[in-house]
Amino acid sequence: MSGSSPDHQGSSAGRGQDIGRRLSRIGLALILPVLLLAAWQFLAVRMNNPWLLPQVTAVLARLSRPFANVLETGSLLYNVGVSCLRVVFGFALAAIVAVPLGLVMGRIQLVRRIVGPFVEMFRPLCPIAWIPFAMAIFKTWTVVNVFGVRYSNTVLD
């Protein structure tokens, strides 16, 4: 029994060191996120412009109840409808332009040589990368006015 006692004590010390290492790793991993949150809060208070950079506390409060405003006002169904109309309109616009253009490019070599490089230049771009450009272009254009929605109070205003 006395032979097993030192092994037991050694394993306890080893476990304590493992826990200490894990806590140290967790603490080190938390330094950067905490510093970034502190810098965010400092800049938000300094700028005092919640549309451009809201405070961390305001974001956390909003994240704690993400659907509170739309559920209380009943605007969720309206917003879903507007979003669906935008998707349908965007798909229809893309189909109206792209399908005939693709057919013409496939049939007429001169058109393919003229338009092809331009089309290929934009092919590798990620679709989500177009969102800032679309917001900048369409925020006051007819497409947005058709749906009665305006991107007001954004960074682009």
Pick from 74, 96, 93: which is nearest to 85 by CA?
A: 93
The token pair at 81 is: 């409808």
Is the per-residue pLDDT at 156 higher than 50?
no
Query: 110-136 burial string, b = 16+ CB within 10 Å, else e?
Result: eeeeeeeeeeeeeeeeeeeeeeeeeee
Please tell me what DSSP assigns to residue 66. Answer: T
pLDDT digits (tens, 9 = 90+) for 10-53: 566 667 788 878 888 888 888 888 999 999 999 999 999 888 88
Is 0.75 topped by the overall pTM? no
Is the per-residue pLDDT at 74 higher than 70?
no
pLDDT (0 to 100) of residue 47: 92
Pick from 151, 111, 112: which is nearest to 133 by CA?
A: 151
pLDDT (0 to 100) of residue 10: 54
Indicate the domain borders of the chain: 1-64, 74-124, 126-157
Q: What value does the mean pLDDT of the chain take?
A: 78
Residue predicted with more confidence, 146 or 138: 138
The token pair at 108 is: 């007429």
User: Percent of the chain having pLDDT more than 90?
Assistant: 24
Amino acid at 1: M
Residue predicted with more confidence, 7 or 103: 103
Mean pLDDT of 122-139: 75
Q: DSSP per residue over 79-109, as a string? A: HHHHHHHHHHHHHHHHHHHHHHHHHHHHH-H
Mean pLDDT of 69-79: 73
pLDDT (0 to 100) of residue 49: 87
pLDDT (0 to 100) of residue 138: 67
pLDDT (0 to 100) of residue 148: 45
